[in-house]
Structure formats: structure tokens, C-alpha cells
Amino acid sequence: RVLFRSFFMLLYLFLIRTYEHIDVVFIRHHTIAKEVDEDEFFHSRESGGTVVSSALELMHDVIRSRYASGEWNIYGAQASDGDNWDNDSPICRAWLDKDILPWCQYFAYIEITPGEPQNLWREYEKLLGVHPNFAMQRIDDPAQIYPVFRELFKKSLV
């Protein structure tokens, strides 16, 4: 949890210090996704099973309802331990492929877990090369947070 919070806090601080007009949407999920405020996003201690597609579906709904005018540059960042129900990971890839990445300037997936990549990583790898606005990185140590952040966002958000 500390690695997730550290990564997203770094991203959030970068955004609010770099851009004058931004609208940040925080989505948390376990089995069901919900939009939350900054405080709940960074401080909630909820835990439970993971169904990632619920968050991607909510992101898609938010994009369609609030940002579909084409007047927004949409950037997405998803950090995960990569653990997801096996049958949900292909659904996640499909949401990104068909319904989210076409709307985004850039989308970064960060897997924060030691050891081998998880099933969500393996599914998302299929999007690399197909969508130039999609990037993936792994973090398994706190010392990697800043270098990975710089690598993911060096060209895309500045």
C-alpha cells in the first residue's frame, strides 16, 4: 500500500504543480469501483477481492459523461499489484483496447509487486505496440518509484 500511495502522490503533486487547469478523478476498487475524493483515495484502508474491470468501466463512464467533448486531454494511470480474477483480466484488456485508450492521450499501467508479473500484466502486454499511447512499468522496491515515474512521464505529460 505504501508503494501505491507514494506513486500516486508523486503523480498528483506533479499534475497540480505542472498544470494550471486540471480535473483529477480518483477511482478506487475492490470488487466494485467507486469515485472517491482525494482524502479517501490516499487514506482508505479498504481491502478485499479484486475485480479490476469495474474500475475501467467506471473510468469509461466518467470519460463519456464528462469529457467526451474532445476539449480535454485525458491521461490515465493505473497502479495495481496485478492480482485479478483470471477471467476478468481479458475483460480489462478489452476495456482499455476498445473503450479507454482511444480517448486517452496517454495511459500508464504500473504493477507494484515483487517477483513474477501477475495475470493482469500478462494480459496488458498484448496492448503494447498496438497503442503507442500505452506504457507499462513494474516496481518492486521503493527506490524504483521515482525512476519509474520519470520514465513513464518524461515525454508524455510535459
Entry pTM: 0.90
**Cβ(90)–Cβ(56) below 8 Å:** no
pLDDT for the residue 131: 97
In the structure grid, which three cell numbers stand for residue 96, read together?
482499455
Measured distance CA(109)–CA(126) in Å, rounded: 13
Per-residue pLDDT tens, the chain, 158 aa: give them: 678 888 888 988 888 888 888 999 999 988 889 999 999 988 887 765 578 999 999 999 999 999 988 889 999 999 988 888 889 999 999 999 999 999 999 999 999 988 899 999 999 999 999 999 999 999 988 899 899 988 988 754 44
3-state secondary structure labels for all residues of the chain:
CHHHHHHHHHHHHHHHHHCCCCCCCEEEECCCEEEECHHHHHHCCCCCCCCCHHHHHHHHHHHHHHCCCCCCCCEEEEEECCCCCCCCHHHHHHHHHHHHHHHCCEEEEEEECCCCCCHHHHHHHHHCCCCCCEEEEEECCHHHHHHHHHHHHCCCCC
107: cell is: 495511459
- The reported pLDDT for the residue numbered 31 is 81
pLDDT at residue 76 in the model: 95
pLDDT of residue 49: 59
Residue 1 is predicted with a pLDDT of: 63
85: amino acid identity, one letter? W
